[in-house]
């Protein structure tokens, strides 16, 4: 078989750069607990993301879970979200003793369909948790308007939207808080890691204590906090990778443009649409396979690609509302568009350093499955 192509490949800095970055720790022996690297990365990221405040976390999921917790929403409250996302989004709601209510997605941007949001608001609704899927931004204005009207908190899952701006404003500025993931598979990584961006200092204080056991001072612990601190090795990786993320995105842009040239206009293939006013980060390259027009379904294409050593992913499939752990609790048919998209979507391999010959191989493999050309 030809060389295996994975769906992504983690960004790594040159080894020497990382070694230089961690070398001081062999002097200080300070490995975690908001050390120098942690503070330095926080400062650099707040500038890069153009946000007033950021709190670094051990991973994106804990960032989301603790951000929700810091909002201190009443137990049993309903949080309107979407099921076309990673497990983390829905789990974060449920693990906070809140109840997810699923809004359908729009069939073009794959994010929350804001025109279907308001009818889901009840007297138990406390917050909205939309997801910027594939870096496609949600309808920020409309979601904000509805949330203000009903006094709801808004917290964005911006795990896919690192570095993006909307009309020049960093995406982390919208809503009450936004969560970013710096997992190894994301555009920018700190191995594992994540962050919460926010504007309210009071909220920030709560968040800080939640990520550090609720410790207020040496002898006073007055919160039942968790441990979600980003350690110094993670932060050092972030500092190094931040210097290379621009190049990473540029290479991803080039590969994306190549895919676009080859797959645009192919019957039965829907490409991700560019959004007005958004500076994209080229995090993913999702395609939808429409079986009737294409002549094969998504699963057929995925299987064939795999046989050719190309590991594209059904991302996101299944919907979180269909997970085993939620059996009997939700009905995926209530979000028919999300259900349909989840059955048609395939994300193609995309990363800096994806060779041109591999890009060609991937497109040839997809086009080879199309029966109506």
Write out the residues near ligand PLP by the rule CB under 6 A: 59-61, 85-86, 88-89, 131, 157, 159-160, 181, 183, 194
Q: How far is the CB of 85 from ligand PLP (least distance, A)?
A: 5
Q: How far is the CB of 133 from ligand PLP (least distance, A)?
A: 7
Instruction: Count Cα neighbours of 75 within 13 Å in the Cβ-side half-sphere.
Output: 2
- The nearer residue to ligand PLP, 160 or 229, going by C-beta atoms, is 160
- The nearer residue to ligand PLP, 38 or 361, going by C-beta atoms, is 38
- The nearer residue to ligand PLP, 25 or 94, going by C-beta atoms, is 94
Q: How far is the CB of 186 from ligand PLP (least distance, A)?
A: 6
Spatial separation of the C-alpha atoms in residues 247 and 235, rounded to whole Å: 20
- The nearer residue to ligand PLP, 87 or 367, going by C-beta atoms, is 87
- The nearer residue to ligand PLP, 59 or 212, going by C-beta atoms, is 59
Q: How far is the CB of 8 from ligand PLP (least distance, A)?
A: 11
Q: How far is the CB of 184 from ligand PLP (least distance, A)?
A: 9
- The nearer residue to ligand PLP, 55 or 359, going by C-beta atoms, is 55
Q: How far is the CB of 245 from ligand PLP (least distance, A)?
A: 16
- The angle subtended at Cα 44 by Cα 41 and Cα 50, nearest 5°, is 130
Residue least distant from ligand PLP (Cβ): 60
Residue 170 bridge partners (DSSP) = 165
- The nearer residue to ligand PLP, 112 or 131, going by C-beta atoms, is 131
Q: How far is the CB of 131 from ligand PLP (least distance, A)?
A: 5
């Amino acid at each position: 078989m030809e060389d295996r192509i994975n769906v992504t490949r983690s960004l790594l800095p040159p080894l020497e750069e990382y070694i230089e970055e961690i070398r001081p720790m062999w002097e200080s022996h300070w490995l975690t607990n908001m050390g120098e690297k942690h503070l330095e990365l926080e400062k650099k990221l707040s500038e890069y993301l153009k946000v007033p405040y950021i709190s670094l976390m051990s991973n994106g999921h804990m960032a989301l879970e603790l951000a929700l917790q810091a909002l201190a929403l009443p137990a049993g409250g309903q949080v309107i979200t979407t099921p076309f996302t990673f497990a983390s989004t829905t789990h974060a709601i449920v693990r906070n003793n809140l109840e997810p209510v699923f809004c359908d997605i729009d069939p073009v941007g794959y994010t929350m369909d804001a025109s279907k949001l308001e009818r889901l608001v009840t007297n138990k609704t406390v917050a909205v948790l939309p997801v910027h899927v594939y870096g496609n931004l949600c309808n920020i204005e409309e979601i904000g308007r509805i949330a203000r009207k009903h006094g709801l908190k808004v917290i964005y899952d911006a795990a896919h939207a690192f570095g993006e701006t909307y009309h020049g404003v960093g995406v982390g500025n919208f809503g009450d808080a936004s969560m970013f993931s710096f997992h190894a598979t994301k555009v920018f990584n700190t191995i594992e890691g994540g962050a919460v961006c926010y504007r309210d200092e009071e909220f920030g204080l709560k968040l800080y204590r939640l990520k550090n056991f609720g410790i207020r001072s040496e002898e006073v612990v007055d919160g039942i906090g968790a441990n979600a601190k980003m350690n110094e090795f993670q932060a050092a990786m972030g500092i190094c990778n931040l210097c290379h993320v621009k190049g990473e995105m540029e290479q991803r842009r080039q590969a994306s443009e190549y895919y676009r040239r080859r797959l645009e206009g192919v019957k039965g293939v829907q490409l991700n649409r560019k959004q007005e006013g958004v500076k994209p980060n080229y995090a993913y390259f999702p395609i939808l396979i429409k079986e009737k027009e294409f002549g094969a379904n998504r699963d057929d294409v995925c299987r064939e690609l795999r046989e050719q050593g190309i590991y594209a992913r059904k991302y996101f499939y299944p919907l979180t509302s269909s997970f085993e752990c939620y059996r009997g609790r939700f009905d995926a048919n209530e979000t028919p568009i999300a259900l349909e998209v989840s059955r048609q979507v395939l994300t193609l391999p995309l990363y800096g350093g994806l060779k041109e010959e591999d890009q060609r191989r991937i497109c040839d493999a997809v086009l080879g499955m199309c029966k109506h050309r």
